[in-house]
Amino acid sequence: SAVISQKPSRDICQRGTSLTIQCQVDSQVTMMFWYRQQPGQSLTLIATANQGSEATYESGFVIDKFPISRPNLTFSTLTVSNMSPEDSSIYLCSVKDRGSYNEQFFGPGTRLTVL
């Protein structure tokens, strides 16, 4: 399975600022995803990061708030913009491994606290 790392692992930010989260995979993958997990909740898909094109956002999530980049097949970033306390969550990067049909793997997550 793919090995996924995320930076930072956690951060505490002031409202109104932005944070960029990085996701690095140790192999080329076809699909990368960004999820949000609010405290005590399940995972909600924010968007699919498409290599070389704009990300595909789920209902309730917009590019201005969560801009995503995917410059190549092993790397993606998610920015949480103009943060408010409601953005305090764990943000998880996930990939679909080319070698594991229909299995999806997750990074360790970034715990974000907005004050």
Q: What does the binding site for other proteins look like in residue numbers (CB under 8 A)?
A: 1, 30-31, 33, 41-43, 45, 48, 90, 92, 94, 96, 102-109, 111
- For residues 1 and 105, the answer to whether their CB atoms sit within 8 Å is yes
With CA atoms as reference, report the closest residue to 34 among 114, 82, 89: 89
Nearer Cβ to other proteins, position 71 or 108? 108
Nearer Cβ to other proteins, position 14 or 99? 99
Distance CA 30, CA 41 (A): 27
Encoded amino acid at 20, one letter = T
CB of 82 to other proteins, least distance (A): 25
CB of 5 to other proteins, least distance (A): 11
- Length, in residues, of the chain: 115
- For residues 78 and 68, the answer to whether their CB atoms sit within 8 Å is yes
CB of 29 to other proteins, least distance (A): 11
CB of 43 to other proteins, least distance (A): 5
Nearer Cβ to other proteins, position 17 or 56? 56
- For residues 93 and 4, the answer to whether their CB atoms sit within 8 Å is yes
Nearer Cβ to other proteins, position 27 or 104? 104
